[in-house]
Amino acid sequence: MTTSPVGAHPLRPASKPMDSRSKHHGAGVAITSSMLLPLLAALTLATPELSSPPLLTAEGTRWGEEQQFVRSHPLLGVELDAGFPDGAAAGILVMPVSFLRLQLAGLTNGLGTGARLGVELVAFPTWVLRPTLGVEGGYTFGGVGAWALGSISDDTLRAALSKVTVGFVTARAGLELGSKTFALTLQAGVSWIDVNLGSQAINLGSGVSLKATGSSLRGFVPSARVGLLFCFG
């Protein structure tokens, strides 16, 4: 009769001892599992963070991730132009948005110097050929230069031009041809003008003279202007 080891169940076969290969295989699985979590953490940290695209507004401006203002159109400009009734002018432009311009200019019409203030709308500001519509007002203060008065022989005319002033309000439509930073401008419209002449003295002869304290001319006249536009900022 075969005897069982002490403490063993008589009907259960004795368990076999684990060999060295099984021990090593279990240890390999444990090492691989312990390295998996640090590896996943390293891959997560190394993955680049996706940034959202900048937002584009209707005025042509972009807002980035940090809400930094990026302007896509020039802010300032300089315009040189000549026309009627303005005369010759040089002005500074401010463009808070791409389709709106505010202008302040100094001008001279040969009879005096003055200033002009205007507002202008630009349709399709990104196009090469752009329609414009503007309203402006200006005033030239009286007085021609001494060199001009000296060339006038008639006393009556010289007195009339010595203190002439011109005020005007103009509505114009036009076209611009060029880029965002440089353009040629052509405009036409209608102006209401108020021309005031200086005092006049007319010698009628025989010691008789007629003196007028001043006269004025008012009315609507055609208006036209051509200019160059430089933008920056």
Dihedrals φ, ψ of 22, to 5°? Answer: -65, -40
H or E segment and range at residue 219 = strand 216-232
91 token code pair:
């002005």
pLDDT at 53: 59
CA 16 – CA 13 distance, rounded (Å): 9
- CA dihedral (109, 110, 115, 116) in degrees, to 10, reads 10
Domain spans, the chain: 74-232
Q: Give which of 86, 85, 95 is closest to 132, Cα–Cα.
A: 95
Q: What is the pLDDT along the chain (233 residues), one digit of tens a residue?
A: 445 555 444 555 555 555 545 444 444 444 455 666 666 666 665 555 555 555 555 555 555 544 455 567 889 999 999 999 999 999 999 999 999 999 999 999 877 889 999 999 999 998 999 999 999 999 998 765 555 666 666 666 666 667 788 999 999 999 999 998 999 999 999 999 998 876 666 666 666 666 666 678 899 999 999 999 999 87
Neighbours of 148 (CB within 10 A): 14
The tokens describing 85, both together, are: 């009734």
Question: Phi, psi at residue 104, to the nearest 5°?
Answer: -130, 125
Evaluate the omega torsion of the peptide bond into residue 85 and state whether it is cis, within 30 degrees of 0.
Answer: yes
pTM of the model: 0.62
11: three-class secondary structure by DSSP: coil
Predicted confidence at residue 66, as pLDDT, reads 46
Contacts of 83 (CB under 8 A, 6+ apart): 187, 223, 224, 225, 226, 227
For residue 187, list its beta bridge partners: 174, 225
Residue 188 CB burial class (10 angstroms; 0-12, 13-18, ≥19): middle
- The CA distance from 163 to 82, in Å, is 22
Please check whether the domain covering 74-232 is classified as CATH 1.10.40.30: no
Query: What pLDDT does residue 172 have?
Result: 96
